[in-house]
Amino acid sequence: MKLYEYEARNIFTRFGIPVPRFKTVSTPEGAREAAEEIAGRVVIKAQVLVAGRGKAGGVKLADNPDEAYGYAKQMLGSEIKGEKVNKIIVSRAVDIDRELYLSIIIDRSIGAPVILASPEGGVDIEELARTKPEKILRIVVDPIIGIRDYQARQAARFLELSEPALKKAQEIIINLYRVFDYYNCELAEINPLALTPEGGLEAIDAKVILDDNALYKYPEFSSELVRDLTYYEAEAKKMNFSYVELDGNIGILCNGAGLTMATMDSVYVLGGRPANFLDIGGGARADLVERAVSLLLQHPKTEVVFINILGGITRCDEVANGIVRALEKTGAMKKIVVRLKGTNEEEGRRILEENRMYVLEEMDEAARKAVELGGRR
């Protein structure tokens, strides 16, 4: 998962990497206030995950708060390379003598982190690798030992710096590695690292990509976990359901991944098309069932909802109550086909039939009913 620049900057700051003062805002008025507070020249930067914002109009230097307001107004709500801008940062503008490049990446072919350093940053690193490969230094780090001082020194020296910037660069490289290591990154990158006329160094761009498999370790990013999902996927995630959206019109809701797959197959075989995969897991109570059913009832593409439950630890009466409540709450007029089997089956069936739903005993006949109602595709 890619982090936004402001998120990566916050991490960098905590790990001692110098970042110019900035504020994250979502209105032009907020941008004006931030620029007043920071005082002097500021940079307005669109917070989007696509690369190359500078060339696409997502990075603008503003001389005063009014200009900051103007650029913010232009950027907010616009699209940069197809991505909508909801937030911007207002950052103190840095005087740049030279732009450098630093990153730590995972090299999958050798299974180890690699430090990349270049005295010619600012540009796209892939481009630089093509045109001037000799300008990129590559140092492999032993993941068990971690970065060694001499490696940081070697990388810093390659940046063509003199003291005191040389020493600072070495510290930045070590801190960047600490970020990389702590957050299980796939990439931690500073491009550019700005060398100022006074010999200072500041990370004016920040890019961090986290390994999705390690995300569970960082609850602070839980809100970000849902950023690329549709509303329905995000809701499903909150409830810990396994949910995948598909192209069809028959909503599928089951307990257990195997049963969900088998149910989808049976719909396919009969010529129907599932609208989704939704596994509510074992032991779901009425309130969770209600939320799951509501999700499917509300989805615009779903015309029929096919619920297939094998009651074990999941009780059929709980499921039935959840379904009835979802129908009442959403007021949806969609058709529901239910197949219930197992614990408290009789009671569940009674509740559903009282509410005029199709309740079937066998999976095949239930699938046939769902496809009959949803139509063949």
Residues designated catalytic: 101, 189
* Closer by beta carbon to ligand GDP, 207 or else 273: 207
Q: Do residues 165 and 199 lie in contact, with contact meaning Cβ atoms separated by under 8 Å? A: yes
CA distance linking residue 274 with residue 252, whole number of Å? 6
Contacts of 294 (CB under 8 A, 6+ apart): 326, 329, 330
Judged by CB under 5 A, the chain residues 129 through 148 that form the site for Mn ion are none
Q: Do residues 311 and 319 lie in contact, with contact meaning Cβ atoms separated by under 8 Å? A: yes
> Which of Mn ion, ligand GDP, none binds 215 (CB below 5-8 Å, type-dependent)?
none
> Which of ligand GDP, Mn ion, none binds 59 (CB below 5-8 Å, type-dependent)?
ligand GDP
Which residues bind to ligand GDP, rule: CB under 6 A? 43, 51-54, 59, 93-94, 96, 99, 122, 191-192, 204-205
C-alpha distance from residue 268 to each of 243, 306, 371, 375 (Å): 18, 13, 9, 11
Which residue in 191, 263, 314, 321 binds Mn ion (CB under 5 A)? 191
Find the shortest distance in angstroms from Cβ 124 to ligand GDP: 8
**Closest residue (Cβ) to Mn ion?**
205
> Which of Mn ion, ligand GDP, none binds 43 (CB below 5-8 Å, type-dependent)?
ligand GDP
Q: Coil, helix or strand for 110?
A: coil
Give the angle subtended at the CA of 253 by the CAs of 248 and 257, to the nearest 5°.
Answer: 100
> Which of ligand GDP, Mn ion, none binds 271 (CB below 5-8 Å, type-dependent)?
none
> Which of ligand GDP, Mn ion, none binds 77 (CB below 5-8 Å, type-dependent)?
none
Alpha helices in 82-136 (DSSP H): 125-131
Question: Which helix (H) or strand (E) covers residue 69, if one does?
Answer: helix 65-75
Is 314 one of the binding residues for Mn ion (CB under 5 A)? no
Which residue in 205, 235, 290, 317 binds Mn ion (CB under 5 A)? 205
Find the shortest distance in angstroms from Cβ 358 to ligand GDP: 54
Buried b (16+ CB within 10 A) or exposed e, 200-228: ebbbbbbbbbbeeeebeeeeebeebbeee
Tokens of 316: 């059929």
* Closer by beta carbon to Mn ion, 123 or else 137: 123
Find the shortest distance in angstroms from Cβ 121 to ligand GDP: 8
Residues at the site binding Mn ion, with contacts judged by CB under 5 A: 191, 205
